[in-house]
């Protein structure tokens, strides 16, 4: 269980993106073998997805059973799902039912309640969760797990007295999570065909400030937008709650074919110097409309800032998503010396090389890298290997990667092997869990060697030179 939890928490074993690529290319048998022989959780989960998609629930259960019977909760959830889809309801309930007392395992009992609800035993699910009913997270979960079960009125009966008590004496309820009952009630009303009632009740709560976290206002704004109540949404988005309501309002206007109004609204907030994310929202809106020059113009005044309001990288990424790699590359040029001193080696140059590789200029990027001292380029060899692959020189890329130690190079090599449909070999070159855990311990002992680009994710995307939130793709 410790190994499973480590894999789950750190993208250990075979990374999910490799598993997805193998599954997409028809390597289901290789994933099943890795689950069986290596105890690899992500391979097992991928194999289960593939088998269930093919309707082979018996084989899917055979894959996940060794993981589920350990009692490790993610595997228990997956196993119970397979069994329910397989029609083995009693076995699913037996697997999902926690052994410990309810006060010590609230999350596990919530999972069990969800299995009960999916099995059609909604009243039993209510009974299991009754000890927690004054926890807002449980009320929210009940609303979610009963969707499509034909029990909306029963859920509303449960939620109504708690919501009314909260409305009568909101100051007496200091538990933050309990406030979730208000949007949960509105959610069930909406899906049961009573959207006007949901809007009326939640609107009164928002107007009277009978709510805790801003998620209540956010849900209300989305509710208005979904039902075309744009005048009420505009009032919300121009009042004290504009920071929360602005996003849903812009989305609703855009969906209604009124993007020009959305643009004017955002420009007005920016001109009034209201604090918030409005420049970023305007840039995204303009990019979605294909107005790339206007989008850059709207935010370029931030590009040399040395604090969090700098929108250079988000702009580059959004342009890249639209296939405008050369336009994104232009933004890396002409930056101030102060900005370059703080960011060039850390993330700007690596993002530039990534964009060049995507734009068909891999050879130019390689030349830039080779002109720099070796110690100035973090992960130099994997970076060059990726660029070689982008240039179509797959064998050269693989030759660069094979001698390199560590999971990063092995994963990059595996991606190339998957691309050639060499699935078993791709899995084999990735170190097993024990080896990866040892490597992780060594990395923690020398953290200075492992810088990451701002916003990059740990574990699976542990690639300092890759644009944040952009999956490394061979």
Asked if pLDDT for residue 460 goes beyond 90, the answer is: no
353-412 tens-digit pLDDT = 999 999 999 999 999 999 999 888 988 999 999 999 999 999 999 999 999 988 889 999
- CA distances 293 to 192, 248, 333, 357, Å, are 45, 25, 16, 23
Asked if pLDDT for residue 62 goes beyond 80, the answer is: yes
82 neighbors 48 (Cβ within 8 angstroms) = yes
Q: What share of the chain is helix, strand, coil (3-state, %, to 5)?
A: 70, 0, 30
Query: CB 341: neighbour CB atoms within 10 A?
Result: 11
pLDDT range class, residue 238, cuts 50, 70, 90: very high
Sequence-distant (6+) residues with CB within 8 A of 276 are 242, 243, 246, 269
125-135 tens-digit pLDDT = 888 888 776 56
Classify domain 337-474 by CATH number: 1.25.40
pLDDT of residue 469: 33
pLDDT of residue 161: 87
- The pLDDT of 437-441, averaged and rounded, is 88
96 vs 468: which has the higher pLDDT: 96
Angle, helices 57-68 vs 41-53, to 10°: value is 160
Percent of the chain with pLDDT over 70: 89
What residue spans define the domains of the chain?
A: 337-474
269-287 tens-digit pLDDT = 999 987 668 999 999 999 9
pTM equals 0.83
């Amino acid at each position: 269980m410790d190994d499973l939890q480590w894999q789950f928490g750190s993208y250990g074993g075979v990374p999910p993106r490799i598993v997805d690529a193998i599954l997409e290319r028809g390597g289901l048998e290789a994933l099943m073998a890795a689950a069986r022989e290596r105890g690899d959780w992500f391979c097992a989960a991928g194999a289960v997805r593939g088998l269930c998609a093919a309707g082979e629930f018996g084989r899917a259960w055979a894959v996940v059973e060794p993981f589920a019977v350990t009692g490790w909760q993610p595997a228990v959830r997956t196993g119970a799902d397979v069994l329910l889809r397989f029609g083995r309801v009693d076995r699913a309930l037996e697997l999902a039912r926690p052994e410990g007392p309810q006060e010590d395992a609230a999350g596990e009992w919530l999972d069990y309640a969800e299995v009960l609800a999916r099995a059609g035993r909604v009243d039993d699910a209510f009974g299991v969760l009754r000890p927690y009913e004054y926890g807002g997270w449980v009320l929210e979960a009940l609303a979610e797990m009963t969707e499509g079960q034909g029990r909306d009125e029963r859920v509303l009966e449960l939620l109504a007295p708690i919501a009314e008590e909260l409305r009568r004496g909101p100051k007496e309820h200091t538990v933050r999570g309990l406030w979730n009952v208000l949007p949960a009630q509105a959610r069930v009303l909406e899906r049961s065909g009573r959207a006007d009632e949901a809007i009326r009740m939640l609107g009164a709560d928002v107007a009277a400030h009978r709510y805790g976290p801003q998620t209540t206002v956010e849900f209300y704004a989305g509710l208005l937008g979904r039902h075309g109540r744009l005048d009420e949404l505009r009032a919300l988005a121009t009042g004290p709650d504009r920071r929360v309501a602005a996003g849903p309002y812009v989305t609703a206007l855009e969906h209604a074919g009124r993007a020009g109004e959305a643009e004017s609204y955002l420009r007005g907030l920016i001109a009034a110097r209201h604090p918030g994310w409005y420049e970023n929202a305007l840039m995204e809106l303009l990019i979605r409309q294909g107005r790339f020059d206007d989008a850059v113009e709207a935010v370029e005044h931030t590009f040399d800032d040395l604090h969090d309001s700098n929108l250079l990288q988000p702009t580059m990424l959004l342009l890249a998503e639209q296939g405008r790699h050369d336009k994104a590359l232009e933004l890396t040029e002409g930056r101030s010396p102060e900005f370059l001193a703080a960011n060039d080696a850390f993330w700007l140059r690596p993002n530039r090389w990534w964009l060049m590789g995507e734009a068909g200029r891999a050879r130019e990027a390689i030349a830039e890298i080779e002109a720099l001292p070796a110690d100035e380029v973090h992960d130099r060899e994997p970076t060059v290997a990726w660029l070689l692959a982008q240039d179509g020189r797959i064998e050269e890329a693989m030759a660069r990667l094979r001698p390199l130690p560590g999971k990063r190079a092995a994963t990059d090599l595996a991606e190339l092997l998957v691309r050639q449909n060499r699935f078993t070999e791709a899995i084999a070159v990735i170190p097993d869990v024990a080896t990866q855990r040892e490597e992780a311990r060594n990395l923690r002992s020398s953290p200075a060697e492992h810088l990451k680009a701002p916003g990059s994710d740990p574990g699976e995307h542990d690639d300092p030179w890759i644009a944040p939130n952009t999956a490394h793709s061979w």
